[in-house]
Structure 1
C-alpha cells in the first residue's frame, strides 16, 4: 500500500515538473548586411545549422543588401528550402533594401517581411543596355540583348517564378523585377502580394507571425511566436576571415605579395622569409580567387604583366618589356572579376597603387642592373684583366708573374726583367697574356 502511494506521488511530481524541465522556444536571428558573397553564404549555412541543433521555433534573416553573387545566392536559397524550421526574411532597418539577390532570397523564404521605408526588387541578373547592333534582339523597352544576356534573364525569370509559385507569392511582379528591374516599397509590396507582413521592429514581426500557418515537408504548422526568446547569431572568426580574404582588393594584394615573395626567394635562395610569406599569401589568394567569379583572361594578363616586368630586369629591352608588363597588369586587374557588383570589383585606387609599386620596383631593379654593368668586375677571371702583376721570372717570352697573392703562368714580350710591373691583357685558362706597364700609358 505504501509503495503504491509512493509511486502515485512520484508520477504526480513528474507531471507537475514537466513544464519546468522543458526548454523554452526561441527565435534565431541573423543579420545579412552588404553584398552577398561566399562569406554570407557560409554565415547563413552555419546559422541555419545552429538553429536546427537548438530546435529553434523560427529563423529570422534581417537583410540589407544591394545584391550579390549568383552562386552564393543560390547556396543560401538551397539551405533555406532544406530547412525544417520556418525562415523569415525581414528587410530591416528602415532605409534598408533587398535588391537583386536579396529579392530572390526573400521570395524563397517561408515568410517575407519589410520595415516601412525599405524597398526590394531590381533583380535583373546583368546590366542590359546600349545601342542595338547586328545579331542582337530587343526587349520590350528597346534595350539590346545578346544571346548570353537573354539566356541569363530567362533563367533568372524561371528561377524566381518557381520560388514565387512555391511560396504563393506574386509571380508576375517577380518576372517584372527581373526583366524591367522594377522595385517596390514595403506598403506596395504588401499590396501586390510580394510580402506577407510590414512590421516596424522585431517584436512587432513576431506578434504578427503568431498564429500564421506554414507548410513544411507537406505538413501544415501553426506558428506560436508568443513569448519567444531571441538568440542572435554573429559571424564566427572563420566567416570574418573568409569575408576579408574574398574582398577582391585583398585577394589581389595577396596574389601580388605571393608572386613577388617567390620571385625574391628565387633571386636570393636561402632567404626563406620572402618564400615562406609568398607561398602562404599565394595559396590564400588562390583560395579567394576560387571562391570569386574570376575572369581568366584578366588573370592571364596579370601573370603576363608580372612576367614581362621581371623579364625587364634581365633583358636589355630599354623599357619595352617593363612598360608592356605594367599595361598588361593594370588591364588584367581591371577585368579580373567577372561581375557588375561594385563590392566584388577591384578598386581603381588599389590597381593604381599596385601598378605604381610594380613600376617602381621595375625601375629600382633596372637601376641596380645598370649600375652593376658600369662597375668594374671585382671577382672571377675577368677581374684580372687590366690588373698589374710583378714578374717573378722570364725567358723567351714566357715566365711567371705574381698577382693577387697568386703565382700565374704568363706569356708576352720576348724580354722582361725580374720584378718588372706588367699589365694583364688577357686570361686564357690558367695562362695570362701580359705587356709592360709603361706601354699602356697615354
Structure 2
C-alpha cells in the first residue's frame, strides 16, 4: 500500500532576498580600496641572468641631464636614501576596461602626482572598454605630471578598442613579441553603432596627432591586427620588449614632455658580472605591483558575459529547485546570491531584456512540466526558449557575447537538471513510498468512519481498509492500533479500552 502526501509551496525566503540586496549594495558601493590590496614587490625584471636580482630605481631629471653614467659613483640613483623614496607603479589592465579597472587607473594617475612615483607602467592585455568613458582616462594620462609607459604584454596579449587608446595616449609605449594591436574602433564594446565608431575614430586621430604618432596603422589593425614587428614598423609603437623589465630599462634616457615640463628618465644602471666581467643594464628602482582588492576583483569578475550568464541560469535553476524543496535551505541562499551577481554583471553589459525574459519564461515552462510529472510540449518549449535567450542574451562584439559552445553547455545542463534531477527529486518527495506489511503492526491511526466489521482508518496520513473483531463497533475518530494484517486489510483495536 502507498502513502501519498502533498505539501508543495514556494520556498524562496524573504530573508535570503534581503541578504542578496545587502550584497548588491556592497558591490554597488564598494569603491577605491585597491591600495589595500596592493603588493609591494622587489622585482627581478631585466633579463634571464641570475645576476639581475637587484632592485630597480627610476631617476627623473630635468632635460639638462648629468653626464654621469647610470651605475657610476656620481649617479644619484645609487644614493640609498633616494632609492627608498622612489618607485615605479605597475597597473595590470586585462580582460576589459570596466568601471572597476578604470577607477583603479584613474586613482593611480591622480595619486602619483603627490607620491614618490617616478613612472606609471600600464601592463595591457585588454579587448576594449565597457561602460567606461575612455576619453576621460586618456585626458588624465596626457595631463599627468608623472610619465606613463604602456606595455602590451606579455606574449599573446592584445590591445584593441579602448585599450589601444590607452597605448596611444601614453607618453611612451612598448610591445612584447607575440602580442598584437587590434582594431581600436569601436572604443567601447557596448557602443558599436556606425555613428559611435565614426566618433571614436575621429577622437583617436586627434589623440594621435597630439602625441605625434601616425594614424595610418589603424586600417591595417582593423583588417586583422598588427603583430609586434608591424606595430613598431608603423611608428605607432616605439620599442619591442619581451618582458616587463626590458620595457623599463628600454626607456632609459628617454625625454618625455609632461604637464610638469620635460623629463628625462633614468631607468637602468650598468652592472658587471664578477666572473665574466661582462657589463649589462639592469633596472634600478623599486617596483610596486598594484592589484584590485577582494571586493573590486569580485566586481571585475562579475562584469563578464560568461560569468553573468552562468550565474543567471544557475540562480533560476536553484530557485526552481527550492520551490519544490521541503524547506528553506542552501539552494535558496545560493540562488539569491547568484541572481544578485548576475544582475550586477548585466548592469554593465549590453544585455537584451527580452532575452532575459525568455530565459525566465523557459524555467516557468519547466516548472509546469515538473508539476505535471511528465515530459511534454512545455519541456520542448522551455528548451527552445533557454537556447534562444542564451544565444541572444548580449549584443555587441564577440568579447561581450556568450560563445556558442557555452550556449550548448548551458542549455543541455539546464534540460538535464530539469528532466533528471528535478523530476527525480519531486518523485522522491511527492511520490508514494511503499510501506512494508510488517512495519504497520504497532502503528497507530484514527478511524475515519464507524467500523462494525470493516471500515477506513488513517495511518500516517494514508487511508487503509480496516477490520475489527470487537463485538461493539468502533466510532469515527477513535484512536486505534494495528494488531495484525489480513491480506490488504489491517486488523485494529482501540488504544483505549473504554472505546
Structure-1 separation of matches of 2:249 and 2:426: 75
For the pair 1:250 / 2:292, whether they are aligned, the reply is: no
For the pair 1:181 / 2:242, whether they are aligned, the reply is: no
Q: Which has the higher contact order (CA 8 A, sep 6+)?
A: 2
Residues 113, 360 of structure 1: alpha-carbon distance in 2 compared, 3 angstrom cutoff: closer
Is contact 1:213–1:220 with CA below 8 Å preserved after alignment? Answer: no
Equivalent of 1:293 in 350, 355, 362: 350
Q: Deviations over 1:29-87 (max 9, x none)?
A: 2333455555644554455466456431111112344x234435727546534543221
User: Residues 239-388 of structure 1 correspond to what in structure 2 (within 5 A)?
Assistant: 239-268=296-325, 270-314=327-371, 319-342=376-399, 344-364=400-420, 365=422
Name the structure 2 match of 1:215.
257
Match of 1:88, SS state, is strand
For the pair 1:111 / 2:172, whether they are aligned, the reply is: yes
Name the structure 2 match of 1:4.
none
What displacement does 1:194 show?
A: 1.7
- TM (norm. structure 1) is 0.65
Match of 1:80, SS state, is helix
Structure-2 separation of matches of 1:242 and 1:249: 14
Mind listing any 5+ residue stretches in structure 2 that lack a counterpart? 1-78, 269-283, 436-447, 460-470, 477-499
Point out the structure with the larger helix share.
1
User: Residues 115-154 of structure 1 correspond to what in structure 2 (within 5 A)?
Assistant: 115=176, 118-125=179-186, 149-154=193-198
What displacement does 1:290 show?
A: 1.6
Structure-1 separation of matches of 2:417 and 2:245: 58
For the pair 1:68 / 2:128, whether they are aligned, the reply is: yes
Q: Deviations over 1:336-367 (max 9, x none)?
A: 1223234x433444433432333234335557
What displacement does 1:117 show?
A: 5.4
Is contact 2:102–2:132 with CA below 8 Å preserved after alignment? Answer: yes
Count of aligned residue pairs for this structure pair: 355
Residues 73, 190 of structure 1: alpha-carbon distance in 2 compared, 3 angstrom cutoff: farther
Q: Deviations over 1:367-423 (max 9, x none)?
A: 7778999959x9xxxxxxxx885249xxxxxxxx974389xxxxxxxxxxx9689xx
Match of 2:262, SS state, is strand
Residues 184, 263 of structure 1: alpha-carbon distance in 2 compared, 3 angstrom cutoff: closer
Greater Rg by CA:
1
Match of 1:223, SS state, is strand
Structure-1 separation of matches of 2:456 and 2:151: 88
**CA-atom RMSD in angstroms:** 4.2
For the pair 1:31 / 2:88, whether they are aligned, the reply is: no
Structure-2 separation of matches of 1:47 and 1:232: 12
Structure-2 separation of matches of 1:184 and 1:252: 32
